[in-house]
Structures are given as structure tokens and as C-alpha cells.
């Protein structure tokens, strides 16, 4: 069966580091461990945020969405990656590649917007504490999250439709672990100025604009923190905002380096390691960063475990 552009709808080959099988074995073990930590850590955040009434706040509502997003993102990529790393067959079906490509774009763009929303929430909490509950009311929080998810969906539909229309001239080998845009564009046998313009335009909208808003928010927050006289509140603000800023740095740093610079300026192996970082390591680090640096989350976990022990004894 052929598509309209003449490219066969057959299996693709995910090359990865197939020319270094020993390295693939090491990577598969690391990826498996990180994936388990991702599942446990993000699931724990979602459950604790919903079970503990003290965490029914905008911050943990956004954090639960971020954890759910990371779960979906990792699950859309890692199982197929492990199958290819463990076995001799490196293939992925055309439909599987399209779905992987779509979800990577959708969830990645959504996370860009969601991190900006979380920065605004921190700005409101630190700089407008007396009006925080009025500003960040539940309806607004739900609308902001819905906008982030719909925005990611819209960008993914645009980029997927444009990329998949490019003729591949029979090329089946994807020089990466996953079906993502840079690797799929390199498979095309024609150059598309339209896609390049659209990628940079959406890059500005989903990367540079949210990042600029985040930086502005934290500039204002920093000015407010300097004026705080209470050391206890000062430390709490730094811990809360520091966790979010760490996640922002890890996520945006790798994504901007990967997508906003000319594709030819990144070596093939560097691109693969970057892909591993923001698809595997970042979703694993997010729950660790938020839980290890967050006293409220750790206290909530202890409360839930205490209740479970009490119920078990009674």
C-alpha cells in the first residue's frame, strides 16, 4: 500500500547504536531502570496529590498534570525502544512510527506551555500572596491546563501532517532510537522551506515565548524574594521555585539545543544522546526533583503511609 507521496507504508528501521551492540546492551539496562523510576515516581505524585487534601492546591494540580504528561511521554517511547535494544530486530511499523512521532510532538509542546503556566502560578504565590486564591481559582487553573493540552495537540497535528507528506524515496532507516522530527526530516529526499519556516515559527511560540515568560516571572520573583525578611519563608520560596527552575533548565536546555539550531550543526551521536536525555532522563528526574526538595510532598507521603499502617492494624 502506498501513500499519496509515493512512500511505502512499510516498517521503518530504528538504527540507534546498532553499530555498537555492546553499548546498546548498557543503554537498555539504564533505560529500563529509568523507566521504572519514572513510572513509580510520577504515579506516586499523582496519587499523593489527589489523596492528600492539603495538596489540593493549584501548584499540585499543575504538578499532577506534569507527572501524567511525563508518564504518557515515556510510555509512548520506552517500550518500543527496549524491544529494539534487546532484540535483533530494530523495526517499527509505519503506524507505530507515526503515533510515536505524534505523541512526542504533542506531549513535548504541551510540557513547554505547562511549565510556563507553573511559573505564573509561582509568581502569583510569591508576589501576590494575599490575592493568590482569588487569582488562581480552580476554573482558571483548569482553563490554563486545557489550553496547554490543546496547544500541544494543534502543533503536533500541523507538524505531523507536513512532515509525513514529504517523499522519502524508499528510505526506511531512522537514524535514532525513536521516530522524532529531526531524524524523519533527514529521511526526506527533498528540502522543504515550508517545514523549516513552520518549525522555527512553532519553536518561537512553544519554546522561546514560554521560556521568556518563565524568565520574566522568575526575575520578578527574585526581586520579591530579596525583600522577604522572614528566613523561613525565604527558604520555602527558594525550595519551591528552585525545583521548578531546575526542571525548566533541564527540559528547555536540551529541547532548544535540539530543535532551534540548524540540524547539520549537531552530530548524529550527539543528537541520539540528547534524545535519550529529554525522553528518558528528564521524566525520571522531574518527580525526584519535586519530591526530594519539597517538604509538603514528603509530609503528605508520610501521612498517607501512616494512615495505611493504621488501617492495616485496625
Predicted local confidence at residue 5, as pLDDT: 44
Is residue 266 over pLDDT 60? no
**CB 264: neighbour CB atoms within 10 A?**
7
* Three-state SS letters, 111-173: HHHHHHHHHHHHHHHHHCHHHHHHHCCHHHHHHHHHHHHHHHHHHHHHHHHHHHCCCCCCCCE
Centre a 10 Å sphere on the Cβ of residue 122 and count the other Cβ atoms it contains.
Answer: 22
User: What 3-state DSSP class applies to 2?
Assistant: strand
Query: 517545514: which residue's cell?
Result: 195
Are the C-beta atoms of residues 112 and 139 closer than 8 Å to each other? no
Those residues whose C-beta lies under 8 Å from the C-beta of residue 167, and which sit 6 or more positions away, are: 5, 6, 7, 188, 189, 190
3-state SS, one letter per residue, for 189-255: CCCCHHHHHHHHHHHHHHHHHHHHHHHHHHHHHHHHHHCCCCHHHHHHHHHHHHHHHHHHHHHHHHH
The span from the CA of 188 to the CA of 166, in Å, is 6
Of 81, 75, 77, nearest to 43 (Cα)?
75
Among 25-29, 45-49, 106-110, 275-279, the minimum mean pLDDT is found in 275-279
Asked if residues 208 and 174 have their Cβ atoms less than 8 Å apart, the reply is no
| pLDDT at 257 exceeding the cut of 70 | yes
234 pLDDT more than 80: no
Q: What percent of the chain has pLDDT over 70?
A: 84
CA–CA gap between residue 196 and residue 74 (Å, rounded): 27
Is residue 6 left, alpha or beta, with left meaning phi > 0 and alpha meaning psi from -120 to 50? left
pLDDT of residue 110: 95
What is the residue-averaged pLDDT of the chain?
82
Question: Over 60: is that where the pLDDT of 9 sits?
Answer: no
| Cβ atoms of residues 18 and 24 within 8 Å | yes
Question: What CATH number does the domain located at 12-313 have?
Answer: 1.20.1070.10
pTM to 2 decimals?
Answer: 0.84
Closest among 223, 285, 230, 244 to 122, alpha carbons compared: 244
116-130, 165-179, 222-236, range with greatest mean pLDDT: 116-130
Cβ–Cβ under 8 Å, residues 286 and 66: yes
Query: Rounded to whole angstroms, what are the CA distances from 81 to 11, 18, 90, 216, 258?
Result: 15, 12, 9, 38, 20
Asked if 140 and 78 count as a contact pair (C-beta separation under 8 A), the reply is no
**What was the pLDDT predicted at 299?**
76
Asked if the model's pLDDT at residue 270 lies above 80, the reply is no
Q: Cell for 66?
A: 506534569
Q: Which residue do the cell numbers 499502617 mark?
A: 309
Q: How high is the pLDDT of residue 192? A: 78
Identify the pLDDT of residue 269: 62
Amino acid at each position: 500500500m502506498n501513500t499519496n507521496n509515493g512512500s511505502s507504508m512499510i516498517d521503518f528501521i530504528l538504527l540507534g547504536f546498532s553499530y555498537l551492540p555492546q553499548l546498546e546492551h548498557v543503554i537498555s539496562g539504564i533505560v529500563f531502570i529509568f523507566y521504572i523510576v519514572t513510572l513509580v515516581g510520577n504515579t506516586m505524585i499523582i496519587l499523593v496529590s489527589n489523596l492528600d487534601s492539603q495538596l489540593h492546591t493549584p501548584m499540585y494540580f499543575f504538578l499532577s498534570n506534569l507527572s501524567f504528561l511525563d508518564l504518557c511521554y515515556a510510555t509512548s517511547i520506552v517500550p518500543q525502544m527496549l524491544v529494539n535494544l534487546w532484540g535483533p530486530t530494530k523495526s517499527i511499523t509505519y503506524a507505530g512510527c507515526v503515533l510515536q512521532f505524534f505523541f512526542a510532538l504533542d506531549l513535548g509542546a504541551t510540557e513547554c506551555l505547562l511549565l510556563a503556566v507553573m511559573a505564573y502560578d509561582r509568581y502569583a504565590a510569591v508576589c501576590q500572596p494575599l490575592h493568590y486564591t482569588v487569582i488562581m481559582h480552580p476554573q482558571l487553573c483548569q482553563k490554563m491546563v486545557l489550553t496547554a493540552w490543546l496547544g500541544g495537540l494543534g502543533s503536533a497535528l500541523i507538524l505531523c501532517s507536513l512532515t509525513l507528506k514529504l517523499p522519502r524515496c524508499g528510505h526506511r532507516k531512522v537514524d535514532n532510537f525513536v521516530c522524532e522530527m529531526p531524524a524523519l526530516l533527514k529521511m526526506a529526499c527533498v528540502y522543504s522551506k515550508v517545514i523549516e519556516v513552520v518549525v522555527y515559527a512553532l519553536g518561537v511560540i512553544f519554546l522561546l515565548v514560554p521560556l521568556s515568560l518563565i524568565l520574566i516571572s522568575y526575575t520578578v520573583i527574585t526581586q520579591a524574594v530579596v525583600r522577604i525578611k522572614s528566613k523561613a519563608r525565604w527558604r520555602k520560596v527558594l525550595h519551591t521555585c528552585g525545583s521548578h527552575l531546575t526542571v525548566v533548565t533541564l527540559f528547555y536546555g536540551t529541547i532548544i539545543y535540539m530543535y532551534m539550531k540548524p540540524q547539520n550543526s549537531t552530530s548524529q551521536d550527539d543528537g541520539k544522546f540528547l534524545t535519550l536525555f529529554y525522553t528518558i532522563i528528564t521524566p525520571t528526574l522531574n518527580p525526584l526533583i519535586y519530591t526530594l526538595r519539597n517538604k509538603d510532598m514528603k509530609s503528605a507521603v508520610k501521612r498517607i503511609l501512616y494512615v495505611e499502617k493504621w488501617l492495616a492494624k485496625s
